[in-house]
Structure 1
Amino acid sequence: MKERLQKVIAGAGLTSRRKAEQWIAQGRVRVNGRVVVEQGFKVDPEVDRIEVDGRSVAIPDHTVCFLFYKPIGVVTTLHDPQGRPAVADYVRDLPKRVFPVGRLDINSSGLLLLTNDGELAHRLMHPRFGVEKTYRVVVRGYLENPGIRRLETGIVLDGVRTAPARVRLRGRGRERSEFDITLHEGRNRQVRRMCKAVGHPVLELTRVQYGNLTIDGLAPGEIRPLTEEEERTLRKLVADGREPR
């Protein structure tokens, strides 16, 4: 059965589908010895020989999913040219090669999903599914109610208003305030930029929930596999019979 090339590469657990599309555009992918740069090119993974940077793409015999509590100071990548601590340093002993779903910036901590299932990763990050992510945020200063309402109703970033969010205040004082904010979109450094826009720079930022998954019971730097029930529920969040583009 033929499938789009970027989907097959992602399904092999090498990277996300979006990144696979970039690899194709960069001429790094060959099918049966021929460089393919056409997006949407279809292949049969059981018949065609697919290579990325000269290495054969092997379809995994089964998929895996792990939760990782990313510490502050760790970059969300499997290789960092600057030699900084990276997610790769924590996954060397896992039984399968995995990659992170989405990103957390180096100064943020919290929940990262790690998997070798490129199709699942693609769906989880696709805006059409709107998978919720909750962050625990500490900001500078006393966060007034009007600021909370602005965070909830949306703030214009790069000319586009953010989608409505949910905010649950945990405490506030003259020097700092703490709250949880739940989003169902994932723009670059979105929470930090939203808080800056309402006049309260972020002091601490931790992702505490992703869909049905939480970091409860994990310490920074720890990894654990998803339970069968957790993985089943997670997949249901993005399983509606339609394939996102």
Structure 2
Amino acid sequence: MAEERVQKILAAAGFASRRACETMIEAGRVKVNGRVIRLGDKADPEKDTITLDGKMIKTNVKKYYIALNKPKGYLSDIDETHPAPTVNDLIDIPEKLFAVGRLDLDSEGLILMTNDGEIANRLTHPRYRHEKEYEVFVIKEPDQEQLEIWRRGVVLEDGYRTLPAQVEVMTNSNNGSWLRIIMREGKKRQIRKTGSRIGLPVAVIKRVRIGTLKLGNLRVGEWRHLTPKELRDLKVYTGLEKPAK
């Protein structure tokens, strides 16, 4: 087997996204044949011995691709300082899976759970700017100026200017409005911060799509394996596979 960059091997083996694997290498936690490696070093997973924190990695791990409808009150990642349960508590799978498309504790909706670091990297790395779609309830009916500001991009309190987004009103009620928001980035609590910044307090966030993958009628707290077509479409969308001719 040809040599590959070690961060790619680790990601493909399901340890984490490629970015997280790069951080592990930079921290000196990864060795090849007993030697601490540097970022960019290569190895042959069939011939070389690769260890992470002294433990040998397996490169032939079965890949899992799971759509989960995250409930409120669950963390997307393990946080030993927080008592809340995590999305991993909802899934009965023998392999360690990590969440692609994180949602904060108070948000709900679609998360992709996988141990495929390559597809995780393609879907989460900022340079790819893949679409994520949300249904958002704000406790005030927005006017056209507020909608246009959100669409163009908003300067948040930390000085960061959000990328342009697609924002449209789905329905209005006495209590507020449901908005459909399509974004190509995902800074921490960005939707809530943006709404607050322009006078539209956010009460509910529900993600309904990541790239080509849709939440559909999956109930809150439930999960399912992706269909072969969903997985193929997602790999084509992220550039990991070429479209069928």
Please give the TM-score of this superposition, normalised by the length of structure 1.
0.90
Change in 2 beyond 3 A, CA 1:82/1:163: closer
Q: Counterparts of 1:193 and 1:223 in 2: how far apart (Å)?
A: 29
Counterpart mapping for 1:52-63 below 5 A: 52-63=52-63
Uncovered stretches (5+) of structure 2, i.e. residues with no partner:
none
Give the corresponding residue for 2:101.
102
Please give the TM-score of this superposition, normalised by the length of structure 2.
0.90
1:63 CA displacement:
2.2
The amino acid of 1:5's aligned partner reads V
Q: Counterparts of 1:102 and 1:54 in 2: how far apart (Å)?
A: 30
Question: What secondary structure does 2:134 align onto?
Answer: strand
Uncovered stretches (5+) of structure 1, i.e. residues with no partner:
none
Give the corresponding residue for 2:5.
4
1:229 CA displacement:
0.8
Counterpart mapping for 1:127-138 below 5 A: 127-138=126-137
Question: What secondary structure does 1:230 align onto?
Answer: helix
Question: What secondary structure does 1:156 align onto?
Answer: coil
- How many residues were matched structurally? 240
1:8 CA displacement:
1.1
Q: Deviations over 1:115-165 (max 9, x none)?
A: 111011101112333211011111122211111111111112343432221
Q: Counterparts of 1:78 and 1:115 in 2: how far apart (Å)?
A: 15
Change in 2 beyond 3 A, CA 1:173/1:241: closer
Give the corresponding residue for 1:153.
152
Give the corresponding residue for 2:239.
239
Change in 2 beyond 3 A, CA 1:152/1:19: same
Change in 2 beyond 3 A, CA 1:175/1:55: same
Q: Counterparts of 2:43 and 2:108 in 1: how far apart (Å)?
A: 39
Change in 2 beyond 3 A, CA 1:174/1:145: farther
Change in 2 beyond 3 A, CA 1:43/1:127: same
Give the corresponding residue for 1:114.
113
The RMSD of aligned alpha carbons is: 1.9
Change in 2 beyond 3 A, CA 1:137/1:122: same
Change in 2 beyond 3 A, CA 1:95/1:217: farther
Q: Counterparts of 2:160 and 2:81 in 1: how far apart (Å)?
A: 33
Q: Counterparts of 1:107 and 1:131 in 2: how far apart (Å)?
A: 23
